[in-house]
Chain A
Amino acid sequence: MLSKKINMVDHQRFTFPFTAITGQEKMKKGLLLNAVNPRLGGILVRGEKGTAKSTTVRALAALLPEIEVAAGCPFSCDPGDFTRLCHLCRGRLSAGRKLEKIRRRVQVIDLPVSATEDRVVGSLDFEYAVKYGRPRFEPGLLARANRGIIYVDEINLLDDHIVDVLLDAAAMGVNVVEREGISYYHPAEFILVGTMNPEEGDLRPQLLDRFGLCVQVEGVTDPAERVEIVRRREAFDTDPLSFIAAWSKEEELFRERVPAARGLLPAVAVSPELLDMIAGLSLEAFVAGHRADIIMAAAARTIAAWNGRTEVIEADVCEAAELVLFHRIREAPPPPPEQPEPPQEEEEEPPEEQEKEDSNQEPSEQPEEMPPPEPQDTEPAEQEQQQEQDRSTLPPAAPQDVVFAVGQPFPVKRISHNRDRLLRKGSGRRSRTKTASKAGRYVRSTMQRKYNDPAFDATMRAAAPHQAHRQRDGVAIAIEPCDIREKVREKRIGNFLLFVVDASGSMGAQQRMVETKGAILSLLLDAYQKRDRIGMVAFKGNTAEILLPPTSSVEMAHKLLEELPTGGRTPLSAGLIKAYEVAKTHLYKDPNISPLLILVSDGKGNVSMGDDKPLVESRRAAEIIRDEERIKTLVVDVEKEGFLNFGLARELAVVLGAEYYKIGELKADTLVQAVKGLSDY
């Protein structure tokens, strides 16, 4: 009985049936369209966890149509298309032999995030090399994926190097291999399907643009539907075979529909009016280039074919637009909070509104004793409440101290050091780096020998072709020193961000602290995604104190930030010196990670530690910091534009040799590109 059931489900994995997936219509449609029309350029599925992203993609495999392939060809060449044959097939043809045809289903190839380069592009077949003493190409994932689908789960976690390889092949439709004594190229036309959770960081713009379609999925909120989801999943978990059997009829219907639509597709026409509409939609969305138009037209045609029509109607275009434009819109109305912003590269939006608003206020120079304005009229209502609570639970730091709410966070541009050739250790995601510790991800191999970290696979492949003329004492492979290859590991190291926050009374004026906290929160959110370590120094009254010693607990930093009271005078120099000490200590402990000191202040120091004037002293402190080259600095000026601008923070930034930003600039998402040589991918 068991074997009967097995025959019913012939695919290799026993996956949850596509048709049994409740809701998520857009995602399902997007996937099906790709199954019908391979020229749509793949699909990216973004969404919160637990929304059947992976399940749906894997289920799609069972619905894919059959294609004709040349028998025995590792690249699944199409025997009917002479322009795209690999040279094996071509050689076979020119030798006067015929290409044997077989039919098989389009394949979904899994690309795990732990993949190494050799398996992706293919490399030397070492078993063959040992046996026959000749190099032979062993096809990799790209070869298997020709005319199929490459599926990357958690695609935003894929190593950048592998991403480059994928992009290269995807752009040309050909995989060129030049490695380990092998020179080879073969067709590699594949549909890229990726799923990701945006909480874990976003995709590089180049990769994002490769995806023809993109959908955002969310959980279903209708209780009845939720119940149905649970019921079906539970039924599947209890007895997968029966469940699959129960859905086989539905699956069959869909399976037939795909090739039918495929057959209809060439006949589907788009009227000139609708083409105009497509162009108009693209223009409205401010997309870059013309890819969007082309894909939108193709998607609209595919939708029509799926619905059994040969004429595209307006509704098809609208449906297509949603799938095509989602990740390409460049200037949209402020997105709802659920919807992560698409990358906005070329935009420059001067922080006008902000400054206009402020310019008619008084100049910001105010006596320090002046009570800060009531924060009650600050923006988010819920945060106010929280702040109220905070105030009541906190021990009062000084009589006039006030705790301000945290301003709205905003997305922050990448802060990053350049990828460097130095060796570092650490764990985090901000900067990519070569690492000497044996802990990073093994991406490829090198002939350079330095760290006693041999890459055995590469070493074997290097040794294999020479086995014919080597002395082998009872082993199959004799390895000589010249064969040994080492692993190149790559690892993202987090930075150490040290926030030096001015908590003096002047910061309480005009909601500055609210904005400041908002800015820091934004940097913290960014720090979380990059796995940075963070620390916080605050100065007010007469002293500076370390609020948070270096830690990776971003939550802790956030809590402290919320509770940070404001009041008193501005001991700027003390703050700088304290920050310097913290950074120095951290450098002793971890010389590989250069600290990034982020000073948030208006630069108006009015308390000194010694006998000098406060400003002179803070300048001296700044010089000390500048002289330690490993410490990078960034000044966020919170002084408001007014009649009277002191520009003290800017002066300080010059002395520090720091990057300088006005807080408004940060908010306008221009950038927080910190240290010199910022990388930008």
Chain B
Amino acid sequence: MGGFKKVYPFPAIVGQEEMKRGLLLNAINPKLSGVLIRGEKGTAKSTAVRALAALLPEIEVVADCVYGCDPDDITSMCVQCRQRLISGEELPRTRRKMRVVDLPVSATEDRVVGTLDIEKAIKKGEKHFEPGVLAQANRGILYVDEVNLLDDHIVDVLLDSAAMGVNTVEREGVSFTHPANFILTGTMNPEEGELRPQLLDRFGLCVNITGITDPALRVEVVKRRNAYEEDAETFVRQWEAEEEKLRRQIVAAKALLPAVQASDEILFLIAGVAVEMGVDGHRADLVMMKAAKTTAALRGRQEVSEDDVRGSADLALIHRMRRKPFQDLEMDREKLHGVIRGTGHGRSRGQTRTHGNVHRL
């Protein structure tokens, strides 16, 4: 993000714990496949996503590959890298930060999926593929502000590639396939229309946020924002320590994640919750489990606890519950906690997590 101004630091965002949690979990575990942030105007949605960029961990990539393939994972490589590897070549490595790639609402289809490289065609009379936004976003975050305003046919394209993590291009004379594993992150204001259910389901997690109602916190928001506007450099420096702490936490959690185990009990708890809450399909179960594992990793544990499930189930469920037509995206937390309690080993509700505002999801 080589912007002119330093980005607003992530830890300096007041409140909105759920949103921050959703973003952090994704930074740790890209397999969660993104988060959708729904909320009214002026609730730091975009700020938070941009701030996340500064926290993202470094990844290992093939140095000269446009798609930033992982040199250690043959299953997700582009065809070229795979061939090089099979032919015995040592792939050049480098480390770089995970990227946040913006997908503007006005993007055209050819820029999104990629198209014919016109320069090469004219100069050399050869046909080459010019990668688009999806190629850049491979192994990074694809961020769509106002995702509900995205043109319909662009959404179709996103659905197509998000499903399998592969972008297949058959257009404008080019035929090409490349990996497109991206973390889909979107923000939207529901007043301007909802998302299509199919696209909704592609977001691993979803949070609903509202403005903060506590006057003291509101004052704090304004104060910090003012300080940042006046002297971004200083402000960012003040928060550097906090940011660094968070960054280390992410790296540690990422390292711990592969070792995190979920017991059968936990798996049954998750399945029970999914059935009880009435969700479509099985993606909810998978995401719930991945989110619970990631939460455990973030909390520094190797065993998923019931509390980890509780702390992440809502994010995975809210947009997947079967609704009557046009019903609002709402979540019955009481029911959720009831279900978790009922299926698990009866804990009192007083012990459930306390952070987060008490607003309707």
Contact = CB atoms under 8 A, between A and B. Distances in A.
A6 B83 CA distance: 11
A109 to B, nearest CB: 9
Interface string B163-202: 1101011111111010000000000001111101110010
Contact of B280 (A48, A112, A428, A552): A48
Contacts of B325: 409, 521, 524-525, 528, 558
A442 B109 contact: yes
Interface in A373-409: 409
Contacts of B177: 110
Interface residues of A, number: 89
Contact of B160 (A113, A199, A223, A554): A113
B157 A197 contact: no
B309 to A, nearest CB: 12
Contacts of B74: 2, 6, 14, 241
A238 B280 CA distance: 24
A220 B118 contact: no
A560 to B, nearest CB: 11
A50 interface: yes
Interface stretch (A272-280, A294-302, A454-462, A503-511): A454-462
Contacts of A457: 116, 172-174
Contacts, number: 219
Nearest to A131: B125
Contacts of A48: 280-281
Interface string B255-292: 00010000010011011101100011111111001100
B108 interface: yes
Nearest to B257: A238
Contacts of B163: 54, 153
Contacts of A464: 125
A140 B201 CA distance: 32
Given A49-B283, A50-B284, A457-B116, A231 B267 contact: yes
A126 interface: yes
Contact of B110 (A126, A234, A442): A442
Interface stretch (B54-62, B93-101, B148-156, B333-341): B148-156
Contact of A230 (B79, B122, B166, B286): B286
A370 interface: no
Contact of B168 (A6, A49, A112, A229): A112
Interface stretch (A117-125, A576-584, A611-619, A641-649): A117-125
B282 A229 contact: yes
Interface stretch (A319-327, A475-483, A591-599, A600-608): A475-483
Contacts of B110: 442
Contacts of B353: none
A223 B272 contact: yes
A66 interface: no
A291 interface: no
B126 A127 contact: yes
Q: Which bracket fits the contact residues of B?
A: 35 or more
Contact of A219 (B170, B192, B282, B289): B282
A440 B282 CA distance: 34
A605 to B, nearest CB: 30
Interface string B110-138: 10010010100111111100000000000
Interface in A227-261: 227, 229-231, 233-234, 237-238, 240-241
A349 to B, nearest CB: 23
Nearest to A428: B152
Contact of A123 (B125, B173, B194, B196): B173
Contacts of A120: 170
B193 A220 contact: no
B125 A467 contact: yes
Contacts of A140: 170
Most central of B153, B157, B174 by chain A CB within 10 Å: B153
A230 B285 contact: yes
Contact of B282 (A52, A54, A141, A476): A52
A238 B73 CA distance: 11
A569 interface: no
A456 B174 CA distance: 12
Interface in A211-228: 219-221, 223-224, 226-227
A112 B166 CA distance: 11
B152 A114 contact: no
B75 interface: yes
A439 B151 contact: yes
Interface string A549-587: 001111111110000000000000000000000000000
A441 interface: yes
A275 B274 CA distance: 44
B86 interface: yes
Nearest to A460: B121
A223 B271 contact: yes
B151 A476 contact: no
Contacts of A12: 79
B173 A126 contact: yes
A154 B201 contact: no
A157 interface: yes
Contacts of A110: 168, 170, 177
B87 to A, nearest CB: 10
A461 B173 contact: yes
B343 to A, nearest CB: 9
Contacts of B106: 439
B244 interface: no
Nearest to A117: B171
Given A154-B198, A226-B274, A427-B152, 6 more contacts: A49-B198, A126-B173, A229-B286, A234-B289, A477-B125, A555-B194
Interface of A: 2-3, 6, 12-14, 48-52, 54, 58, 110-116, 118-120, 123, 126-127, 130-131, 140-141, 153-154, 157, 197, 199-200, 219-221, 223-224, 226-227, 229-231, 233-234, 237-238, 240-241, 409, 427-429, 438-442, 455-457, 460-461, 464, 467, 474-477, 479, 491-492, 521, 524-525, 528, 531, 551-559
A-B complex: 8 closest residue pairs judged by Cβ atoms = A50-B281, A476-B125, A50-B283, A558-B326, A226-B271, A130-B125, A457-B173, A457-B172
20 contacts: A6-B74, A14-B75, A54-B163, A111-B170, A112-B169, A114-B109, A114-B160, A157-B156, A200-B197, A219-B279, A227-B267, A231-B267, A238-B258, A457-B172, A476-B125, A531-B152, A553-B190, A553-B191, A553-B193, A558-B325
